[in-house]
């Protein structure tokens, strides 16, 4: 038998090289090559599996398959999944340490354990630790089977004996297969273990939830192929210093990737936030410049958030620019438009932007609120608390139409806003409801005029 040899595998594209390189020759990623031990016989035994040959068949002759979902009982999680867990699907849940992944899974076990059998495999905690969490969360434990094991073969053997309805693995980085000669958490181990779990899920129609760690860049630790293998990738986001958490789908083969779920971390676990808009505006300050409300769309859900800006003069040669919750490059673009079209000297000021509640906004319809907040802080003009602004800003300073303007305006009116600033083409021909004033925005100068009237 040949002695094992060392190779280097790229964590992004799975390319292999005989020696370490600073940059992957296949995908161009820097510092992505990880050392692995390779045994030819073990690798061949792991990859070659006898199977029945299958012939190509016309799509019209293929039978329809029903998408059977299991409602978890956690409304915000069901929203992100597209209506619940699909039988035979593999879901990858990733997030920073301490964000609440294990808490969410234990609450999920409590919600589903009454109607089915759940096998909870933990490679990081002992059974007493899991029991303590279950008692704190008020989980009865009925229908929940705990297994503290890291060997993949032992896990699959116990799986065959128990025959659960749902399998939870926390986490994939702690599981190892004896067929791969590398340490747990390595690229080869993560790929082999995830592939074995995925094959079992597809064959038996069992829903599998895998917990994944994140690296220092914020991506999922392990090979990039892991995200391609699973059916859904959920990111658990939020600041551990704040109580609010957000679940966002980065991939979902059975639903939309635009939906989000909002939770609040309490002493008794995660609590669903059914009305995020009211939550995000609950502590909004009054009679303070630099604060503007905006309505964004996360999938089919309109959410009203608060954008705060702080503009202060500075004598530094390179003024500071900080953006929290807003794309950094988008902030520079809006600052350039405001300085060019309105003559506001942001180049001699420090600029800080923040979205309250830990929410991250990628909707270009938030440009109008960002611009109003910046102008308000620059001129020290207070924006009325009943004013909300929406609209995308072009490089020429024009306001462009946004999608679902009626839905956004209805959500703003529901929460008590009486002045809704929208792009002019979104208002043309529309009659405002009683007590609602629709303010048209044609160009960036209209935003300055709107604040000058206050």
Average pLDDT, the chain: 86
Least confidently predicted of 47-61, 168-182, 233-247, 392-406:
47-61
Q: What are residue 308's phi and psi, to 5 degrees?
A: -115, 140
For range 360-381, the mean pLDDT? 93
Q: Is 39:181 a contact under the CB 8 Å cutoff?
A: yes
Strands 321-324, 291-298: parallel, antiparallel or unpaired by DSSP?
unpaired
Q: Is 309:321 a contact under the CB 8 Å cutoff?
A: no
Give 94's strand partners: 212, 235
Least confidently predicted of 37-46, 96-105, 136-145, 167-176:
37-46
Query: Is 8 or 441 the better-scoring residue by pLDDT?
Result: 441
Per-residue pLDDT at 35 exceeds 80: no
Per-residue pLDDT at 41 exceeds 50: no
pLDDT, residue 47, reads 43
For range 17-29, the mean pLDDT? 83
SS (H, E, C) the chain: CCCCEEEEEECCCCCEECCCCCECCCCCCECCEEEEEECHHHHHHHHCCCCCCCCCCCHHHCCCCCCCEECCCCHHHHHHHCCCEECCCEEEEEECCCCCHHHHHHHHHHHHCCCCCEEEEECCCCHHHHHHHHHHHCCCCCCEEEECCCEHHHHHHHHHHHCCCEEEEECHHHCECCCCCCCCCCHHHHHHHHHHHHHHHHHHCCEEEEEECECCCCCECCCCHHHHHCCEEEEEECCCCCCEEEEEEEEECCCCCCCEEEEEEECCEEEECCCHHHHHCCCCCCCCCCEEEEEEEECCEEEEEEEEEEEEECCCCCCCEEEECECHHHHHHHHHHHHHHHCCCHHHEEEEEEEHHHCCECCHHHHHHHHHHHHHHHHCCCCCCCEEECCEECCCCEEECCCCHHHHHHHHHHCCCCEEEEEHHHHCCCCCCCCCEEEEECEHHHHHHHHHCC
pLDDT, residue 433, reads 66
pLDDT band at 1 (very low <50, low <70, confident <90, very high): very low
Structure-token match 């005029």, residue found = 449
Structure tokens at 112: 């589903």
Q: CA torsion, points 139, 234, 172, 20, in degrees to nearest 10?
A: -160
Q: What is the pTM of this model?
A: 0.75
pLDDT band at 364 (very low <50, low <70, confident <90, very high): very high
Q: Is 353:389 a contact under the CB 8 Å cutoff?
A: no
Per-residue pLDDT at 22 exceeds 90: no
Cis geometry, peptide bond prior to residue 171 (ω within 30 degrees of 0): yes
Q: Which pLDDT tens digit goes with each residue over 384-433? A: 999 999 999 999 999 999 988 888 988 899 888 999 999 998 887 676 66
Q: Tell me the longest C-alpha to C-alpha distance in the chain.
A: 84
Q: Counting beta carbons within 10 angstroms of the beta carbon of residue 27, is it exposed (0 to 12), middle (13 to 18) or buried (19 or more)?
A: middle
Per-residue pLDDT at 49 exceeds 70: no
Structure tokens at 336: 């350039």
Q: Counting beta carbons within 10 angstroms of the beta carbon of residue 46, is it exposed (0 to 12), middle (13 to 18) or buried (19 or more)?
A: middle
Listed ranges 7-11, 332-336, 438-442; the one with the highest mean pLDDT: 332-336
Q: Which pLDDT tens digit goes with each residue over 275-315? A: 888 888 888 888 899 999 999 988 778 899 999 999 999 99
pLDDT band at 43 (very low <50, low <70, confident <90, very high): very low
């Amino acid at each position: 038998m040949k002695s094992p040899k060392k190779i280097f595998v790229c964590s992004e594209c799975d390319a292999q090289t005989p020696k370490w390189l600073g940059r992957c020759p296949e995908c161009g990623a820097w510092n992505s090559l990880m050392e692995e031990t390779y045994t030819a016989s073990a690798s061949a035994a792991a990859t070659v599996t006898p199977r029945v040959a299958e012939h190509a068949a016309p799509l019209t002759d293929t039978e329809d398959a029903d998408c059977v979902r299991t409602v978890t009982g956690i409304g915000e999680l069901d929203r992100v999944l597209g209506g619940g867990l699909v039988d035979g699907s593999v879901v990858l849940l990733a997030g920073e340490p301490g964000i609440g992944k294990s808490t969410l899974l234990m609450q999920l076990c409590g919600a589903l354990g009454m109607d089915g059998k759940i096998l909870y495999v933990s490679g990081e905690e002992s059974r007493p630790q899991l029991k303590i969490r279950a008692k704190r969360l008020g989980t009865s434990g009925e229908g929940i089977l705990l297994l503290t094991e890291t060997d993949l073969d032992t896990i699959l053997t116990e799986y065959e004996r128990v025959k659960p309805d749902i399998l939870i693995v926390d986490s994939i980085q702690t599981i190892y297969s004896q067929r791969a000669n590398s340490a747990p958490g390595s690229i080869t181990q993560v790929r082999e273990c995830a592939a074995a779990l995925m094959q079992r899920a597809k064959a038996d129609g069992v829903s599998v939830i895998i917990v994944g760690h994140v690296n220092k860049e914020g991506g999922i630790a392990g090979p990039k192929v892991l995200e391609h293998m699973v059916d859904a990738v959920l990111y658990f986001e939020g600041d551990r210093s704040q109580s609010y958490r957000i679940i966002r789908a980065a991939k979902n083969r059975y639903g939309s990737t635009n939906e989000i779920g909002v939770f609040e971390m309490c002493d008794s676990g995660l609590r669903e936030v059914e009305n995020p808009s009211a939550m995000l505006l609950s502590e909004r300050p009054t009679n303070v410049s630099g604060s503007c409300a905006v309505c964004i769309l996360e999938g089919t859900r309109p959410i009203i958030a608060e954008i705060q800006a702080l503009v202060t003069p500075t004598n530094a040669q390179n003024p500071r620019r900080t953006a929290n919750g807003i794309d950094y490059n988008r902030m520079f673009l809006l600052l350039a438009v405001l300085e060019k079209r309105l003559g506001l000297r942001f180049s001699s000021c420090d600029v800080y932007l923040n979205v309250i509640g830990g929410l991250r906004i990628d909707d270009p319809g938030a440009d109008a609120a960002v611009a109003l907040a910046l102008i308000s802080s620059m001129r020290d003009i207070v924006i009325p608390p009943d004013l909300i602004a929406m609209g995308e800003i072009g490089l020429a300073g024009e306001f462009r139409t946004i999608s679902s303007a009626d839905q956004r305006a209805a959500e703003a009116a529901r929460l008590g806003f009486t002045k809704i600033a929208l792009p002019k083409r979104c208002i043309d021909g529309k009659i405002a409801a009683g007590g609602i004033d629709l303010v048209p925005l044609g160009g960036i100068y209209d935003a300055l005029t709107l604040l000058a009237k206050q």
